[in-house]
Structure 1
Amino acid sequence: MPQTPDPPTARELKLIYAAAAPHIQRVIALGMATGARIGPSELFRLRWTDVDTKEAILRMPQAAKGARSEAREVPLRRDILSLLRRWEKQDGIAGCPWVIHYRGKPLRSISRAWHNALRRAGIARRMRPYDLRHGFASRALDNAADLKCVAEIMGHANEKMIVRFYRHTSAKQRRKAVEAAPTLGLE
Protein backbone atom coordinates (compact mmCIF):
# COMPACT_ATOMS: atom_id res chain seq x y z
CA MET A 1 0.00 0.00 0.00
CA PRO A 2 1.54 3.39 -0.98
CA GLN A 3 2.25 5.77 1.85
CA THR A 4 -0.09 8.72 2.26
CA PRO A 5 1.73 11.94 1.36
CA ASP A 6 2.33 14.44 4.12
CA PRO A 7 -0.22 17.26 4.19
CA PRO A 8 0.88 20.61 2.84
CA THR A 9 3.05 22.73 5.09
CA ALA A 10 2.01 26.30 5.92
CA ARG A 11 4.55 27.54 3.37
CA GLU A 12 3.27 25.18 0.67
CA LEU A 13 -0.33 26.23 1.37
CA LYS A 14 0.52 29.88 0.82
CA LEU A 15 2.35 29.08 -2.41
CA ILE A 16 -0.44 26.89 -3.78
CA TYR A 17 -3.15 29.35 -2.74
CA ALA A 18 -1.34 32.22 -4.46
CA ALA A 19 -0.91 30.17 -7.66
CA ALA A 20 -4.38 28.60 -7.71
CA ALA A 21 -7.46 29.45 -9.72
CA PRO A 22 -10.30 30.94 -7.63
CA HIS A 23 -12.23 27.66 -7.33
CA ILE A 24 -9.09 25.88 -6.09
CA GLN A 25 -8.50 28.68 -3.58
CA ARG A 26 -11.94 27.93 -2.17
CA VAL A 27 -11.11 24.22 -1.93
CA ILE A 28 -7.85 25.01 -0.13
CA ALA A 29 -9.44 27.39 2.37
CA LEU A 30 -12.46 25.22 3.16
CA GLY A 31 -10.53 21.95 3.09
CA MET A 32 -8.01 23.21 5.63
CA ALA A 33 -10.62 24.97 7.78
CA THR A 34 -13.29 22.26 7.93
CA GLY A 35 -11.63 18.89 7.30
CA ALA A 36 -14.27 18.14 4.67
CA ARG A 37 -13.86 15.30 2.21
CA ILE A 38 -12.56 17.00 -0.91
CA GLY A 39 -14.73 15.94 -3.82
CA PRO A 40 -18.32 15.28 -4.83
CA SER A 41 -19.13 13.28 -1.69
CA GLU A 42 -19.02 16.40 0.53
CA LEU A 43 -17.28 19.66 -0.32
CA PHE A 44 -18.43 19.88 -3.93
CA ARG A 45 -22.06 19.34 -2.80
CA LEU A 46 -21.93 22.36 -0.47
CA ARG A 47 -24.48 25.05 -1.41
CA TRP A 48 -24.85 28.58 -0.11
CA THR A 49 -28.06 27.48 1.66
CA ASP A 50 -25.79 25.24 3.79
CA VAL A 51 -23.72 28.22 4.98
CA ASP A 52 -24.83 30.42 7.89
CA THR A 53 -22.35 33.28 8.19
CA LYS A 54 -24.37 34.94 10.98
CA GLU A 55 -24.11 31.89 13.25
CA ALA A 56 -20.66 30.94 11.85
CA ILE A 57 -21.76 27.40 10.99
CA LEU A 58 -22.00 25.37 7.85
CA ARG A 59 -24.02 22.24 7.35
CA MET A 60 -21.60 19.95 5.55
CA PRO A 61 -23.35 17.33 3.42
CA GLN A 62 -22.35 13.91 4.77
CA ALA A 63 -20.65 11.37 2.56
CA ALA A 64 -22.58 8.12 2.10
CA LYS A 65 -20.40 6.22 4.56
CA GLY A 66 -22.96 5.06 7.08
CA ALA A 67 -23.62 8.56 8.43
CA ARG A 68 -26.63 8.91 10.70
CA SER A 69 -27.69 12.23 9.22
CA GLU A 70 -27.57 14.01 5.86
CA ALA A 71 -25.34 16.81 7.14
CA ARG A 72 -23.14 17.72 10.08
CA GLU A 73 -22.62 21.14 11.61
CA VAL A 74 -19.13 22.53 11.31
CA PRO A 75 -18.21 25.72 13.18
CA LEU A 76 -16.51 28.34 11.03
CA ARG A 77 -13.36 30.22 11.94
CA ARG A 78 -13.38 34.04 11.76
CA ASP A 79 -10.76 34.16 9.02
CA ILE A 80 -12.86 31.81 6.85
CA LEU A 81 -16.05 33.78 7.56
CA SER A 82 -14.65 36.88 5.84
CA LEU A 83 -13.74 34.81 2.77
CA LEU A 84 -17.16 33.13 2.73
CA ARG A 85 -18.98 36.46 2.95
CA ARG A 86 -16.99 37.79 0.00
CA TRP A 87 -17.57 34.63 -2.06
CA GLU A 88 -21.26 34.54 -1.16
CA LYS A 89 -21.67 38.11 -2.39
CA GLN A 90 -19.89 37.31 -5.68
CA ASP A 91 -21.92 34.15 -6.22
CA GLY A 92 -25.17 35.88 -5.25
CA ILE A 93 -24.63 38.45 -7.99
CA ALA A 94 -23.95 35.64 -10.46
CA GLY A 95 -26.87 33.55 -9.16
CA CYS A 96 -24.67 30.54 -8.39
CA PRO A 97 -25.96 28.19 -5.65
CA TRP A 98 -22.68 26.25 -5.25
CA VAL A 99 -19.89 27.27 -2.88
CA ILE A 100 -17.30 25.36 -4.94
CA HIS A 101 -17.86 25.79 -8.66
CA TYR A 102 -16.16 26.60 -11.93
CA ARG A 103 -17.86 29.40 -13.81
CA GLY A 104 -21.14 28.69 -12.07
CA LYS A 105 -21.17 24.96 -12.70
CA PRO A 106 -20.74 22.32 -9.96
CA LEU A 107 -17.55 20.29 -9.97
CA ARG A 108 -16.86 16.57 -10.05
CA SER A 109 -13.06 16.74 -10.17
CA ILE A 110 -10.33 19.33 -9.71
CA SER A 111 -7.39 17.13 -10.69
CA ARG A 112 -6.11 19.20 -13.61
CA ALA A 113 -6.57 22.57 -11.87
CA TRP A 114 -4.95 21.20 -8.70
CA HIS A 115 -1.89 19.92 -10.55
CA ASN A 116 -1.60 23.19 -12.47
CA ALA A 117 -1.61 25.10 -9.16
CA LEU A 118 1.10 22.82 -7.74
CA ARG A 119 3.23 23.27 -10.86
CA ARG A 120 2.83 27.09 -10.84
CA ALA A 121 3.66 27.09 -7.10
CA GLY A 122 6.88 25.16 -7.79
CA ILE A 123 5.83 22.15 -5.71
CA ALA A 124 7.10 18.91 -7.20
CA ARG A 125 6.28 16.43 -4.45
CA ARG A 126 3.17 14.27 -4.55
CA MET A 127 0.24 16.05 -2.95
CA ARG A 128 -3.47 15.40 -3.39
CA PRO A 129 -6.41 17.71 -2.69
CA TYR A 130 -7.51 15.14 -0.08
CA ASP A 131 -4.30 15.90 1.82
CA LEU A 132 -5.98 19.14 2.89
CA ARG A 133 -8.29 16.97 5.03
CA HIS A 134 -5.26 15.29 6.56
CA GLY A 135 -3.76 18.74 7.14
CA PHE A 136 -6.85 19.88 9.02
CA ALA A 137 -6.68 16.91 11.40
CA SER A 138 -2.94 17.16 11.97
CA ARG A 139 -2.90 20.91 12.55
CA ALA A 140 -5.95 20.85 14.82
CA LEU A 141 -4.39 18.13 16.99
CA ASP A 142 -0.99 19.87 16.94
CA ASN A 143 -2.74 22.86 18.48
CA ALA A 144 -4.43 20.90 21.28
CA ALA A 145 -7.87 20.34 19.71
CA ASP A 146 -9.96 17.63 21.33
CA LEU A 147 -9.65 14.36 19.37
CA LYS A 148 -13.37 13.54 19.61
CA CYS A 149 -14.30 17.03 18.36
CA VAL A 150 -11.93 16.69 15.40
CA ALA A 151 -13.49 13.32 14.55
CA GLU A 152 -17.03 14.76 14.72
CA ILE A 153 -16.13 17.78 12.60
CA MET A 154 -14.64 15.45 9.99
CA GLY A 155 -17.71 13.20 10.03
CA HIS A 156 -16.23 10.19 11.86
CA ALA A 157 -18.00 8.43 14.72
CA ASN A 158 -14.75 6.86 15.87
CA GLU A 159 -11.67 8.85 16.92
CA LYS A 160 -9.43 5.89 16.07
CA MET A 161 -9.88 6.73 12.37
CA ILE A 162 -8.30 10.13 12.96
CA VAL A 163 -5.26 8.75 14.76
CA ARG A 164 -4.81 5.83 12.38
CA PHE A 165 -5.29 7.56 9.01
CA TYR A 166 -5.32 11.36 9.33
CA ARG A 167 -2.79 12.26 12.03
CA HIS A 168 0.60 13.12 10.57
CA THR A 169 3.69 14.15 12.51
CA SER A 170 6.47 16.44 11.47
CA ALA A 171 10.22 15.92 11.65
CA LYS A 172 10.31 18.57 14.39
CA GLN A 173 7.73 16.66 16.45
CA ARG A 174 9.60 13.37 16.01
CA ARG A 175 12.84 15.06 17.10
CA LYS A 176 11.06 16.45 20.18
CA ALA A 177 9.76 12.95 21.03
CA VAL A 178 13.28 11.46 20.84
CA GLU A 179 14.75 14.29 22.91
CA ALA A 180 12.00 13.86 25.55
CA ALA A 181 13.35 10.45 26.56
CA PRO A 182 15.90 10.53 29.41
CA THR A 183 19.56 10.27 28.52
CA LEU A 184 21.01 6.78 28.39
CA GLY A 185 24.08 7.68 30.44
CA LEU A 186 26.40 5.68 28.22
CA GLU A 187 29.23 8.20 28.09
Structure 2
Amino acid sequence: MDIAGSGKVLFKKAYKAMLDYAHMRGHIREVHDFFRIQGSTARSTPKPTPFTVEEIAAVLTTEADPVRRCMWGLGFGQGLRPSELRRVWVEDIDLAKRVMQVRGDSERGGRGKTAMSASEIPMTPLTVAEVRRFLAVSGLTRGPMFTFRGRQYVDNFRKSWDNAMAAAGITRRVYPYLMRDSFATLAFNLGVPKDVTQRIGRWTSHKMLDEVYCRPRAEDLVAKLAAFDLDLDAILAAQEARGTDRE
Protein backbone atom coordinates (compact mmCIF):
# COMPACT_ATOMS: atom_id res chain seq x y z
CA MET A 1 0.00 0.00 0.00
CA ASP A 2 1.39 3.38 -1.02
CA ILE A 3 0.98 5.65 2.03
CA ALA A 4 2.71 8.96 2.66
CA GLY A 5 5.18 9.15 5.52
CA SER A 6 2.93 11.49 7.51
CA GLY A 7 0.07 9.02 7.15
CA LYS A 8 2.27 6.21 8.43
CA VAL A 9 3.11 8.31 11.47
CA LEU A 10 -0.59 8.65 12.31
CA PHE A 11 -1.12 4.90 11.98
CA LYS A 12 1.93 4.27 14.15
CA LYS A 13 0.70 6.63 16.87
CA ALA A 14 -2.75 5.03 16.90
CA TYR A 15 -1.23 1.55 17.11
CA LYS A 16 1.15 2.59 19.90
CA ALA A 17 -1.70 4.23 21.86
CA MET A 18 -3.68 1.00 21.60
CA LEU A 19 -0.73 -1.05 22.88
CA ASP A 20 -0.02 1.42 25.70
CA TYR A 21 -3.63 1.16 26.86
CA ALA A 22 -3.55 -2.66 26.68
CA HIS A 23 -0.33 -2.65 28.70
CA MET A 24 -1.77 -0.25 31.26
CA ARG A 25 -4.82 -2.50 31.75
CA GLY A 26 -2.62 -5.57 32.08
CA HIS A 27 -3.70 -7.33 28.88
CA ILE A 28 -0.13 -7.52 27.56
CA ARG A 29 3.14 -7.77 29.47
CA GLU A 30 5.15 -5.17 27.54
CA VAL A 31 5.08 -2.85 24.54
CA HIS A 32 7.54 -3.73 21.81
CA ASP A 33 10.01 -1.22 20.37
CA PHE A 34 8.97 0.85 17.37
CA PHE A 35 11.22 1.38 14.39
CA ARG A 36 11.56 4.70 12.58
CA ILE A 37 9.25 5.10 9.61
CA GLN A 38 11.09 5.63 6.35
CA GLY A 39 10.03 8.72 4.44
CA SER A 40 8.72 10.49 7.50
CA THR A 41 10.06 13.83 8.63
CA ALA A 42 7.91 13.97 11.75
CA ARG A 43 9.65 13.99 15.12
CA SER A 44 8.23 13.10 18.48
CA THR A 45 7.83 16.20 20.66
CA PRO A 46 8.27 15.54 24.39
CA LYS A 47 5.48 16.67 26.70
CA PRO A 48 6.24 20.00 28.37
CA THR A 49 7.23 19.97 32.01
CA PRO A 50 4.24 20.55 34.33
CA PHE A 51 3.72 24.00 35.81
CA THR A 52 5.62 24.87 38.97
CA VAL A 53 3.85 26.30 42.02
CA GLU A 54 5.34 29.69 41.17
CA GLU A 55 4.01 29.52 37.61
CA ILE A 56 0.54 28.54 38.82
CA ALA A 57 0.53 31.48 41.22
CA ALA A 58 1.62 33.81 38.41
CA VAL A 59 -1.11 32.57 36.06
CA LEU A 60 -3.86 33.09 38.65
CA THR A 61 -2.72 36.40 40.10
CA THR A 62 -2.06 38.07 36.74
CA GLU A 63 -5.36 36.98 35.17
CA ALA A 64 -7.57 40.08 35.09
CA ASP A 65 -10.76 38.34 33.98
CA PRO A 66 -12.56 36.62 36.91
CA VAL A 67 -14.16 34.03 34.60
CA ARG A 68 -10.84 32.88 33.21
CA ARG A 69 -9.09 33.04 36.58
CA CYS A 70 -11.66 30.64 38.03
CA MET A 71 -11.30 28.37 35.00
CA TRP A 72 -7.55 28.16 35.48
CA GLY A 73 -8.10 27.65 39.23
CA LEU A 74 -10.31 24.62 38.60
CA GLY A 75 -7.88 23.31 36.00
CA PHE A 76 -4.90 23.44 38.34
CA GLY A 77 -6.86 22.71 41.51
CA GLN A 78 -8.90 19.75 40.27
CA GLY A 79 -7.09 18.49 37.18
CA LEU A 80 -10.18 18.93 35.02
CA ARG A 81 -9.86 18.37 31.30
CA PRO A 82 -10.46 21.47 29.11
CA SER A 83 -13.74 20.02 27.84
CA GLU A 84 -14.87 19.46 31.45
CA LEU A 85 -13.92 22.99 32.43
CA ARG A 86 -16.10 24.45 29.72
CA ARG A 87 -19.14 22.55 31.01
CA VAL A 88 -19.05 23.31 34.74
CA TRP A 89 -22.34 24.67 36.09
CA VAL A 90 -22.89 26.52 39.36
CA GLU A 91 -25.22 23.72 40.46
CA ASP A 92 -22.28 21.30 40.21
CA ILE A 93 -20.52 23.05 43.11
CA ASP A 94 -21.30 22.46 46.79
CA LEU A 95 -19.07 24.82 48.77
CA ALA A 96 -20.60 23.77 52.10
CA LYS A 97 -19.51 20.16 51.59
CA ARG A 98 -16.45 21.17 49.51
CA VAL A 99 -17.34 18.73 46.74
CA MET A 100 -18.24 19.15 43.09
CA GLN A 101 -19.96 17.07 40.46
CA VAL A 102 -18.01 16.42 37.27
CA ARG A 103 -20.56 15.59 34.62
CA GLY A 104 -19.77 13.43 31.63
CA ASP A 105 -19.84 15.23 28.29
CA SER A 106 -22.97 13.34 27.28
CA GLU A 107 -24.91 15.19 29.99
CA ARG A 108 -24.02 18.52 28.38
CA GLY A 109 -24.35 17.46 24.78
CA GLY A 110 -20.75 16.29 24.47
CA ARG A 111 -19.20 12.98 23.55
CA GLY A 112 -16.02 10.98 23.78
CA LYS A 113 -13.65 10.13 26.60
CA THR A 114 -15.10 12.38 29.28
CA ALA A 115 -18.61 11.02 28.75
CA MET A 116 -17.50 8.16 31.03
CA SER A 117 -15.82 10.37 33.65
CA ALA A 118 -18.85 11.61 35.59
CA SER A 119 -18.18 11.60 39.32
CA GLU A 120 -18.54 13.54 42.57
CA ILE A 121 -15.11 14.57 43.78
CA PRO A 122 -13.70 16.52 46.74
CA MET A 123 -12.45 20.03 46.05
CA THR A 124 -8.97 21.20 46.96
CA PRO A 125 -8.55 24.38 49.04
CA LEU A 126 -7.20 26.11 45.93
CA THR A 127 -10.40 25.33 44.05
CA VAL A 128 -12.63 26.38 46.94
CA ALA A 129 -10.87 29.73 47.25
CA GLU A 130 -11.06 30.48 43.51
CA VAL A 131 -14.72 29.45 43.21
CA ARG A 132 -15.72 31.55 46.22
CA ARG A 133 -13.89 34.54 44.79
CA PHE A 134 -15.57 34.12 41.42
CA LEU A 135 -19.11 33.62 42.72
CA ALA A 136 -18.78 36.65 45.00
CA VAL A 137 -17.79 38.81 42.02
CA SER A 138 -20.16 37.35 39.43
CA GLY A 139 -23.23 36.89 41.60
CA LEU A 140 -24.10 33.70 39.70
CA THR A 141 -26.45 31.29 41.45
CA ARG A 142 -27.23 28.84 38.65
CA GLY A 143 -26.38 27.91 35.07
CA PRO A 144 -23.02 27.67 33.28
CA MET A 145 -20.18 29.13 35.32
CA PHE A 146 -17.89 30.08 32.48
CA THR A 147 -19.25 32.20 29.66
CA PHE A 148 -17.75 34.41 26.97
CA ARG A 149 -19.76 37.45 25.95
CA GLY A 150 -22.79 36.02 27.68
CA ARG A 151 -22.60 32.59 26.08
CA GLN A 152 -21.22 29.32 27.41
CA TYR A 153 -17.88 28.19 26.06
CA VAL A 154 -18.61 25.57 23.42
CA ASP A 155 -15.36 25.37 21.48
CA ASN A 156 -12.01 26.21 23.03
CA PHE A 157 -10.31 29.02 24.87
CA ARG A 158 -6.91 28.91 23.20
CA LYS A 159 -6.65 32.67 22.65
CA SER A 160 -7.58 33.33 26.28
CA TRP A 161 -4.99 30.77 27.33
CA ASP A 162 -2.24 32.34 25.23
CA ASN A 163 -3.05 35.77 26.65
CA ALA A 164 -2.95 34.40 30.20
CA MET A 165 0.44 32.79 29.65
CA ALA A 166 1.83 36.01 28.19
CA ALA A 167 0.56 38.01 31.17
CA ALA A 168 2.17 35.51 33.56
CA GLY A 169 5.49 35.74 31.73
CA ILE A 170 5.48 32.09 30.68
CA THR A 171 7.19 31.78 27.32
CA ARG A 172 7.82 28.03 27.11
CA ARG A 173 5.47 25.72 25.23
CA VAL A 174 2.41 24.96 27.37
CA TYR A 175 -1.19 24.07 26.60
CA PRO A 176 -4.46 23.85 28.58
CA TYR A 177 -4.35 20.07 29.09
CA LEU A 178 -1.05 20.52 30.93
CA MET A 179 -3.07 21.77 33.91
CA ARG A 180 -4.14 18.14 34.43
CA ASP A 181 -0.53 16.94 34.51
CA SER A 182 0.34 19.83 36.82
CA PHE A 183 -2.41 18.86 39.26
CA ALA A 184 -1.13 15.28 39.48
CA THR A 185 2.47 16.42 39.92
CA LEU A 186 1.61 19.08 42.50
CA ALA A 187 -0.45 16.57 44.49
CA PHE A 188 2.54 14.22 44.56
CA ASN A 189 4.90 16.99 45.68
CA LEU A 190 2.51 18.04 48.46
CA GLY A 191 2.16 14.49 49.76
CA VAL A 192 -1.49 13.94 48.84
CA PRO A 193 -2.24 10.19 49.05
CA LYS A 194 -2.23 8.59 45.63
CA ASP A 195 -5.71 7.12 46.08
CA VAL A 196 -7.11 10.60 46.73
CA THR A 197 -5.33 12.06 43.70
CA GLN A 198 -6.62 9.23 41.52
CA ARG A 199 -10.17 9.79 42.78
CA ILE A 200 -10.08 13.52 42.04
CA GLY A 201 -8.50 13.09 38.61
CA ARG A 202 -10.66 10.03 37.86
CA TRP A 203 -7.78 8.07 36.41
CA THR A 204 -8.55 4.44 35.71
CA SER A 205 -5.44 3.14 37.47
CA HIS A 206 -2.36 4.11 39.45
CA LYS A 207 -0.31 3.07 36.44
CA MET A 208 -1.89 5.72 34.23
CA LEU A 209 -1.37 8.34 36.95
CA ASP A 210 2.25 7.37 37.59
CA GLU A 211 3.48 6.87 34.03
CA VAL A 212 1.59 9.57 32.13
CA TYR A 213 0.55 12.46 34.36
CA CYS A 214 2.69 12.63 37.51
CA ARG A 215 6.02 14.03 36.30
CA PRO A 216 7.93 15.77 39.12
CA ARG A 217 11.19 17.57 38.41
CA ALA A 218 14.39 16.25 39.95
CA GLU A 219 14.53 19.30 42.25
CA ASP A 220 10.99 18.52 43.42
CA LEU A 221 12.21 15.17 44.73
CA VAL A 222 15.09 16.56 46.80
CA ALA A 223 12.94 17.23 49.88
CA LYS A 224 11.63 13.66 49.79
CA LEU A 225 15.19 12.39 50.28
CA ALA A 226 15.57 13.98 53.71
CA ALA A 227 15.74 10.51 55.27
CA PHE A 228 19.14 10.06 53.61
CA ASP A 229 20.58 12.91 55.70
CA LEU A 230 22.38 10.44 57.93
CA ASP A 231 24.35 11.49 61.00
CA LEU A 232 27.13 8.93 60.56
CA ASP A 233 28.96 9.88 63.75
CA ALA A 234 25.78 9.42 65.79
CA ILE A 235 25.11 6.07 64.13
CA LEU A 236 28.61 4.81 64.94
CA ALA A 237 28.40 6.13 68.50
CA ALA A 238 25.10 4.31 69.01
CA GLN A 239 26.62 1.12 67.62
CA GLU A 240 29.57 1.38 70.00
CA ALA A 241 27.23 2.02 72.91
CA ARG A 242 25.25 -1.11 72.11
CA GLY A 243 28.47 -3.11 71.97
CA THR A 244 29.56 -1.77 75.36
CA ASP A 245 26.19 -2.67 76.88
CA ARG A 246 26.49 -6.26 75.66
CA GLU A 247 29.90 -6.58 77.33
- Answer yes or no: same fold by TM over 0.5: yes
Deviation at 1:77, TM superposition (A): 2.9
Amino acid at match of 2:143: P
Partner of 2:5: none
Count of residues in correspondence between the two structures: 177
Deviation at 1:13, TM superposition (A): 1.7
Measured in 2, the distance between the counterparts of 1:167 and 1:99 equals 28
Cα distance, 1:85–1:157 mapped onto 2, change above 3 Å: same
Measured in 1, the distance between the counterparts of 2:90 and 2:120 equals 14
Partner of 2:16: none
- Higher relative CO (Cα under 8 Å, sequence separation at least 6) belongs to 1
Gap runs ≥5 in structure 1: 181-187
Deviation at 1:149, TM superposition (A): 2.4
Alignment RMSD, CA only? 2.7
1:109 counterpart (146, 156, 159)? 156
Partner of 1:168: 215
Deviation at 1:174, TM superposition (A): 5.7
Deviations 1:38-83 (A, max 9, x none): 2x2x121111111111111100123543865x62111123443243
Instruction: Say if 2:203 is the partner of 1:156.
Output: yes
The alignment partner of 1:45 has SS state of coil
Deviations 1:122-164 (A, max 9, x none): 2210111111111110111122222232122112221111111
Cα distance, 1:142–1:106 mapped onto 2, change above 3 Å: same
Deviation at 1:171, TM superposition (A): 3.0
- Contact kept, 8 Å, 2:77 with 2:127, in 1: the verdict is yes
Instruction: Say if 2:70 is the partner of 1:26.
Output: yes
Deviation at 1:15, TM superposition (A): 2.0
Cα distance, 1:91–1:103 mapped onto 2, change above 3 Å: farther
Measured in 1, the distance between the counterparts of 2:95 and 2:222 equals 41
Q: TM-score, structure 1 length as denominator? A: 0.80
Q: Percent identity?
A: 24
The alignment partner of 1:114 has SS state of helix
Deviations 1:26-46 (A, max 9, x none): 1221111111112x2x12111
Cα distance, 1:71–1:13 mapped onto 2, change above 3 Å: same
The alignment partner of 1:17 has SS state of helix
Partner of 1:185: none
Question: By percentage of residues, which structure has more helix?
Answer: 2
- Contact kept, 8 Å, 1:24 with 1:110, in 2: the verdict is no
Cα distance, 1:138–1:88 mapped onto 2, change above 3 Å: same
Partner of 1:61: 103
Q: TM-score, structure 2 length as denominator? A: 0.63
